[in-house]
Amino acid sequence: MKIVVLEGSPNKKGSSNLLAENFIQGAEEAGHKVQIVDAAHADIHPCTGCVHCGYEGPCVQKDDIDEIRQKILEADMLVFVTPLYYYGMSAQLKTLIDRFCAFNSSIQRKRMKSALLSAAWNSDGWTFEALELHYKTLVRYLNLKDMGMVLGTGCGTPSMTQHSKFPKLAYELGRKIKE
């Protein structure tokens, strides 16, 4: 299976990307091919809502989205990776997702699998409620099949994350993904 990991952290060595590394290790050991899209450092402009794409592309903006679109549409699974910023996904990942507007229908027809990996400093029971609802809405709208979430509470630094249960959970999620 082809898996595209959409990393939305501006901190390349941060806690959410640490979870992604563990997921990728597990997925590759299970025989899957994994590609990373570094949404936080790619040249992706915000959607302008011009609808020139007709909701099925191409977009009039000339940035990295054409290359990213191709990777996504060749994949069987999307993994959304984000630090939790003010109880939602990072602006960098949200900017990429907003650009799905130009190929929503293509994603919907593929019936891809998906997962969510996130890390937060906060450990309250409600920490991930808003992000979970947003992710579940994306899953429903894009016709995705959710394969699981690793929501790392108390993961404020990479060291805290490394010493938590969440890297192992991310690894195990990657290992259990089936065709």
Residue 143's nearest CA partner among 92, 100, 104 is 104
Note the pLDDT tens digit of each residue in 58-109: 889 999 999 999 999 999 999 999 999 999 999 999 999 999 999 999 999 9
- Supply the pLDDT for residue 146: 98
Contact 118, 166 (CB under 8 A): no
The CATH class of the 2-176 domain is alpha beta
- Supply the pLDDT for residue 54: 86
- Supply the pLDDT for residue 32: 98
Tokens of 9: 């952290």
SS3 145: strand
- Supply the pLDDT for residue 58: 86
- Supply the pLDDT for residue 123: 92
- Supply the pLDDT for residue 122: 93
Residue 148's nearest CA partner among 161, 136, 159, 158 is 136
Side-chain-facing half-sphere of 57: CA atoms under 13 Å: 17
Those residues of the chain that have pLDDT short of 50 are: none
Give the domain ranges of the chain: 2-176
- Supply the pLDDT for residue 57: 78
In degrees, to the nearest 5, what angle opens at C-alpha 150 toward C-alphas 37 and 155? 90
CA distance 82 to 85: 8
